[in-house]
Amino acid sequence: MGRNSYIGEFEQMILLAILQGGEDANAYHIRRELEGSAGRTVSKGAFYTTLDRMEKKGWVTWESRAAGSDRAGLPQRHFRVTPEGIAELRRSREALEKLWRGLDSVLAPGG
């Protein structure tokens, strides 16, 4: 990604959800994490389009694994955040932390 642009909010959320899922980070778990932690319902189309775009950018990889009986033996993709994806998350976090600095009193409830 260019030095003057940052990772988008939805991409950040997906990368963080993958990291939260660890070894079990398949599409189902990632989408449930987004719904549970971020309160965000995600369409399958937007979700897979974003995953494909992040894979092309080198931020995620995946491997196909055999599924249990609950999926009638159909394989599942399990996702992993690459070192490049981690670097983008860190860069974005650093920029946001700088912008948040000194605003606690303004942004606190009742502030």
Which pLDDT tens digit goes with each residue over 47-85? 999 999 999 999 999 998 876 666 566 788 999 999 999
Query: What does pTM read for this prediction?
Result: 0.84
pLDDT tops 60 at residue 1: no
- Sign for the pseudo-dihedral over CA of 6, 1, 45, 62: negative
Residues in CB range of 12: below 8 A, 6 or more apart: 89, 92
CA 5 vs. chain centroid, Å, equals 17
pLDDT 10s digits, 12-29: 999 999 999 998 899 999
Instruction: Return the CATH number of 9-103, one of 3.40.1410.10, 1.10.8.350, 1.10.10.10, 1.10.1760.20.
Output: 1.10.10.10
Alpha carbons 10 and 7: distance in angstroms, whole number: 8
Exposed/middle/buried for 34, CB within 10 Å: 0-12, 13-18, 19+?
Answer: buried
